[in-house]
Amino acid sequence: MKFFVDTAEIDEIAELHDLGMVDGVTTNPSLILKSGRDILEVTKEICALVPGPVSAEVVALDADAMIEEGRKLAKIADNVTVKLPLTWDGLKACKVLSGEGKMVNVTLCFSANQALLAAKAGATFISPFIGRLDDINIDGMDLIQDIRVIYDNYGFETQILAASIRSVNHILDSARIGADVITAPTKVIKAMAGHPLTDKGLAQFMADWEKTGQKIL
Ligand code: G3P
């Protein structure tokens, strides 16, 4: 399973990258706003740091303008993935840009039918939003499962990029189902390392070590 980090914060990306945890990065207009950075500059910096796919999202709503924005974003670096919304115009732009050999991530996917269309339009990645479905009392993991079955039924090569991940269980369930990629905020990836029994066991080891009076260094 590939790990993408869902942020435009360079420091966070660098820390996880040093640990070998970053196979790619995803950004969106809200994350660019949060970073306070210029989209072209920050995307260039991220692409120089991480060799894997780096999603940068268009903001136009009609296909022709999306295509022009996508071409401009793709010129930043070879590893830019053009992120397009799952609208009819977004699908048109996906077909054109993927036909030009550019990586495309189709985002804001909330149904298996949408995912089927994105695969047929040549998407490299489909981004189903788990957390936002959970927010409205629909199980987001059911969508990941449905897309996995449908893509496997027909051999679609579009990669399932589980997005809008809010908890470590979203990552675990995505791995169980066989999502190709997860994209998660830094804090959720870091939370995967935590376990109360690890903390408890370590406290006991430290207390016993103290009693030995020994030192290693
Ligand atoms: O990758 C999409 C993600 O940024 C959306 O997450 O938590 O805003 O629903 P969230």
Q: pLDDT for 190-211, tens place per residue?
A: 999 999 999 999 999 999 999 9
Split at pLDDT 50, 70, 90, the class of 180 is very high
Listed by start position, the domains of the chain span 2-212
Average pLDDT over residues 1-28: 97
Output b/e per residue, 84-100; b: 16+ Cβ within 10 A.
bbbbebbbbbbbbbbee
Average pLDDT over residues 79-100: 98
Question: Measured from the CB, is residue 159 less than 6 Å from ligand 1?
Answer: no
- Cβ-contact 124, 105 below 8 angstroms: yes
The Å distance, Cα 129 to ligand 1 centre, comes to 7
Q: What is the DSSP letter of 164?
A: S
Split at pLDDT 50, 70, 90, the class of 55 is very high
Question: Measured from the CB, is residue 79 less than 6 Å from ligand 1?
Answer: no
Residue 103's H or E segment, with its range, is strand 103-109
Rounded-to-integer distance, Cα 57 and Cα 80, Å? 10
Domain 2-212, what architecture? Alpha-Beta Barrel (3.20)
The Å distance, Cα 212 to ligand 1 centre, comes to 49
Nearest protein Cα to ligand 1, atom 2: 164
Nearest protein Cα to ligand 1, atom 4: 164
Whole-number Cα distances in Å, 81 to 24, 100, 107, 188, 190: 10, 12, 12, 23, 25
60-88 pLDDT, tens digit per residue, is 999 999 999 999 999 999 999 999 999 99
Percent of the chain at pLDDT above 70? 100
